Structure 1
Amino acid sequence: MKGVNVVIIISMLVVLAMVQLSFMARPGEAMTSLTCEQVGACLAPCIPFLTQGGEPSSKCCEGVKNIKASTPTAQDKRDACECVKAAANHLSNLKDDMAAALPTKCKVQMDIPVSRTTNCDTLN
């Protein structure tokens, strides 16, 4: 039953990703106040990497870059961090080591960790 829940969550995130594509920032274009749905859409392509390992897809890394570009202020980072944290808590099979490695694997210096336990209030 646990596997079915993961499949349902992944399916919902993929649908959100498709719906939210029009809201994602394009390279060089900053967007503020990402919604949790938009953060989820950015990270949806990363689910296979976050749960199984391997290498993140180019779509995954594009989403990570979009989050970085769309969170220029400390408050934007804290808000997006809370969304990332909530999404991470919904993935019961999230591999913490893969989550921690995601920005490095995507060659992005990101201030928002993918973690279930981050204290988002400390981000600046």
Structure 2
Amino acid sequence: MSSDPALAAPPQETDAALLPRRKVVQYQRPCIPCAQGKGPLTAACCSGVKGLNVAAVSMSHRQAACSCIKFTVVGLKSLQAGSFIGIPGKCGVSIPYPISSSVDSFPIE
């Protein structure tokens, strides 16, 4: 298990229908070095982004994924916001909401 607080303890789930937070963390973990500016965008990162996009099939899944990603954005040390925000587009994935610490995950459909 990672000692990075952004990956160690995402918000608790209360709805069994939510995308499991451990799965969201698994999908985003390969992107962390790129998001910190410590490595290039990798095929593993893009695979995770695409996998999460496919896995988030319902509104509750997308909201859960958003909350977990938001938690990562807030807690990840040395995050380079520009790098992190651009990852989905560079991987060919279009998401209809911004990635930021201030996005409200609950209006997301």
TM, length-normalised to structure 1:
0.69
Q: Deviations over 1:55-111 (max 9, x none)?
A: 411011101111110111222111110011112222021111112101111111123
Task: Please report how far the alpha carbon of residue 33 of structure 1 lies from its aligned counterpart in structure 2 after TM superposition.
Answer: 3.2
- Listed as ranges, the gaps of 5+ residues in structure 2 are 8-16
Matched residue, 2:4 = 9
Q: Percent identity?
A: 25
1:99 has 2:99 as partner: no
- Whether contact under 8 Å (1:78, 1:123) holds in the other structure is yes
Aligned pairs, number? 99
Instruction: Write out aligned runs for 1:45-64 (5 A).
Output: 45-52=30-37, 55-64=40-49
Match of 1:108 among 70, 93, 96: 93
Separation in structure 1 between the aligned mates of residue 96 and residue 38 of structure 2, nearest angstrom: 21
Query: Cα RMSD over matched residues?
Result: 2.3
Larger fraction in helix = 1
TM, length-normalised to structure 2:
0.77
Tell me which of the two structures has the higher relative contact order, counting C-alpha pairs closer than 8 angstroms and 6 or more residues apart. 2
Separation in structure 2 between the aligned mates of residue 100 and residue 73 of structure 1, nearest angstrom: 22
